[in-house]
Structure 1
């Protein structure tokens, strides 16, 4: 085996530069299609959706499109930025339910889509969402779920509450909320 090759299984191998010695096509992380089908934003699952999308785009080297302002239109890098941003924006829309995506279809950049989704669905400063989560959490029952399913569902509720209202032992912080 060459030093630049890593064995994945007895049937396939992948070179670090993205060229494969097997007959199946492979991509480097930069040229692979943007796909993530595990979580679609439906308006109620923003925290896990945000985390999944951010992590995925971080791994693809595309987070800058969510966090940074675009270059000036006269900047020589603007055209390339605009092309890549369109791919990221399309990816964001594809990770949303159709009704959610329709609300963001006419925004001009990935950053605008990202920020608008946060404004609409994050629940930050949204007392109604916080009350809904507390109500779900306090009324949470196992029912006919297995212990594992119950624990996972409970953990999701806890994580969503923790995003909106992080636990702290500092007595001053809850007073400010």
Structure 2
């Protein structure tokens, strides 16, 4: 649970049903994981993926465990059955999340980075509108940034870049 004592418990109706291209199918990890993180962050439940559970003797544990079970169920339903079957017996949402990250995240994958850079270099506007062309390049740039795991340190980087 969050440190905020007024944070409501998550209910099954609080989490959206992910369908179609938003469901995790083994090839869309970066997009799917961003959607999951944003959804849980917006409901102040990201700590189920990134934080530590309360101890079993903590009075908050039972409520946390109930919430975690709902989040685990939501995660399973946000994946194709072929993938979710592999995660049915993990004890917490965080363990599911960490294992998925290890198995499917391709951060620092130089081959993938090369392929994206190649797509960027070879992309031509042709019959696309300027807006559509920019949108296509922007998606590729954002995807490349995700694989390269670049983070700007505000003060040092802004000083360097000015």
**What do you get for the CA RMSD once the two structures are aligned?**
2.9
The question of 1:87 aligning with 2:70 is answered: yes
The question of 1:129 aligning with 2:122 is answered: no
TM-score, with structure 2 as normaliser: 0.69
The question of 1:49 aligning with 2:29 is answered: no
Q: State the 1:108 CA deviation.
A: 1.6
Q: 1:63 to 1:167 in 2, by over 3 A?
A: closer
Candidates 143, 150, 157, aligned match of 1:160: 143
Aligned to 2:14: 33
Q: Map of 1:91-130 to 2, 5 A cutoff? A: 91-130=74-113
Q: State the 1:130 CA deviation.
A: 2.5
Q: 1:98 to 1:144 in 2, by over 3 A?
A: farther
- Give the distance between the partners of 2:127 and 2:88, measured in 1 at CA: 40
- Give the distance between the partners of 1:151 and 1:68, measured in 2 at CA: 38
Q: State the 1:145 CA deviation.
A: 5.1
Q: Which structure shows the higher helix fraction?
A: 2
Aligned to 1:60: 43
Cα distance per residue 1:43-83 (max 9 Å; x no partner): 33323322222111111121110111222233333222111
- Give the distance between the partners of 1:147 and 1:75, measured in 2 at CA: 57
TM-score, with structure 1 as normaliser: 0.64
Q: State the 1:131 CA deviation.
A: 3.1
8 Å Cα contact 1:123-1:130 kept in structure 2: no
Higher RCO by CA contacts (8 Å cutoff, separation 6 or greater): 2
Residue segments in structure 1 that go unaligned for 5+ positions in a row: 1-27, 171-177
Q: State the 1:147 CA deviation.
A: 4.4
8 Å Cα contact 1:46-1:122 kept in structure 2: yes
